[in-house]
Amino acid sequence: MLGSLLNKNLKTCLIDSNKKIGAKIKVSGGAKCNITNEKVTSDNYLGESIFVQNILNQFSSSDMLTFCKKNGLQTVFNEKLVKGTYFCKSSNDVNSMFAHLNSHNRTFLNTEVLDIEYKNHYIIKTSNQIIEAKKIVIASGAISFRTLGASSIAFDMAEKFSHKVSRLDPALVGFTVQKDQFWFKELSGVSLEVRAKVEHKEFLGGMLFAHKGLTGPIILNSSLYWKKGLMHLDFLPHNDLKPFFKSNKKISSALPLVKRFIVAFLESVNLEDKAISSLNEEEKEKLYLLKHYAFAPAGNFGYTKAEVTKGGILTEQINDETMMSKIQKDMYFIGECLDVTGELGGFNFQFAWSSAFVCAKNLNKTRN
């Protein structure tokens, strides 16, 4: 991405440990790359909001869509799973676009960066050779999905050059559950539309019961904001329960919920599946748990399943007009390695594109 935004006269090279560029792009969005979102603001991210917004302002989601169009990449608006999302016909098209735009740069693939030293210029020690450079841009992502080439090199090098790295955690990932919610596991395969409330955030969308716990778009988003402790689910986000209490039907038939789910729910709260009109006040209270079910996840599915890593290199030490380190001259950090993590729906790619643009703009200006 960065290479493709650079002036052709600038001598640059790209180093990647993978055999091909864009491993995450390839698998993203079910191989259709959820490239950006219609509305992207700093509210969609964990991170320092002024820093994030300033970078997004310099290369917005509509700039990205224009960039794609200009380079012959067709994007498709599709809100089926998450609001405002833009996909591509195939992730391969995105990688082909970048490969084509990057063709003027030297590319070292299958080359792992092991260490970086600075002696008036950068000495990059790789698994294959030593590469020397005046400037270095670290765009090596974070530590989720090691199978796609992720490594801790950005954090190791940031710390080596006196940067601070905040606590790292898996994010955009499913939740494991505690004993009280083991009944969720019996529902493996069932999906529902729910409203989730976690910390100060609220998400409406699909949730999937999985063998290990909970997953689906609203759970992945909740994992970004969940710290520890309770979160709340509304299993009937579009209905008030009151009108149903007039019905003489059994609870499981009266409520517009998947039968397997409501039967398991009633069992979990020890409520008999009888005529909903016959419920006493105490029983109604139990049923109201459908509207505000509180539970504390046990944890999450971990880095092997997490789409991103939350936390990263502290942004107060990065210049948001250039992406250059404020501590180490000519060293730049962009993308997911920074302490900026977006929600599900194209926000993480958009931050990667925006920060790459800001960096490239500066490199083009300061060419020497």
Rounded (to 5) percent helix, strand, coil in the chain? 35, 25, 40
Which residue, among 324, 320, 350, has the nearest Cα to 336 in the 3D structure? 350
Q: Which is nearer to ligand FAD, 18 or 90 (CB)?
A: 18
Per-residue exposure over 32-71, b if at least 16 CB sit within 10 Å of its own CB, e if not? bbbbbbeebebebbbbbeebbbebbeebbbebbbebbeee
In the complex, least distance from residue 248 CB atom to ligand FAD, rounded to whole angstroms: 47
Q: Annotate each residue in 127-166 with x if it binds ligand FAD (CB under 6 A) or - if it does not, as one string.
A: ------------xxx--xx---xxx-x-------------
Is residue 335 at the binding interface for ligand FAD, with CB under 6 A as the rule?
A: yes
Q: Which is nearer to ligand FAD, 234 or 336 (CB)?
A: 336
Q: Which is nearer to ligand FAD, 18 or 268 (CB)?
A: 18
- In single-letter form, the type of residue at position 287 comes to L
Q: What are phi and psi of 153, to 5 degrees?
A: -55, -40
* Cα 320 to Cα 68: distance, rounded to the nearest angstrom: 24
Using the rule CB under 6 A, which residue among 307, 320, 339, 343 binds ligand FAD?
A: 307
Q: Annotate each residue in 313-332 with x if it binds ligand FAD (CB under 6 A) or - if it does not, as one string.
A: --------------------
Is residue 340 at the binding interface for ligand FAD, with CB under 6 A as the rule?
A: no
Q: Which is nearer to ligand FAD, 290 or 352 (CB)?
A: 352
Sign of CA dihedral 281, 282, 287, 291: positive
Q: What are phi and psi of 74, to 5 degrees?
A: -80, 130
Is residue 90 at the binding interface for ligand FAD, with CB under 6 A as the rule?
A: no
Which residue, among 102, 95, 97, 45, has the nearest Cα to 339 in the 3D structure? 45
Sign of CA dihedral 84, 88, 91, 93: negative
335 torsion bin: left (phi>0), alpha (psi -120 to 50), beta (else): left
Is residue 95 at the binding interface for ligand FAD, with CB under 6 A as the rule?
A: no
Enumerate residues 342-361 that contact ligand FAD by CB under 6 A: 346-349, 352
Is residue 207 at the binding interface for ligand FAD, with CB under 6 A as the rule?
A: no
Using the rule CB under 6 A, which residue among 38, 63, 112, 202 binds ligand FAD?
A: 112
Using the rule CB under 6 A, which residue among 234, 336, 339, 343 binds ligand FAD?
A: 336
**Count of beta carbons in the 10 Å neighbourhood of residue 200:** 6
Using the rule CB under 6 A, which residue among 4, 12, 34, 328 binds ligand FAD?
A: 34
Instruction: Summarize as ranges the residues that interact with ligand FAD (CB under 6 A).
Output: 15-18, 23-24, 27-29, 33-34, 112-113, 139-141, 144-145, 149-151, 153, 307-308, 335-336, 346-349, 352
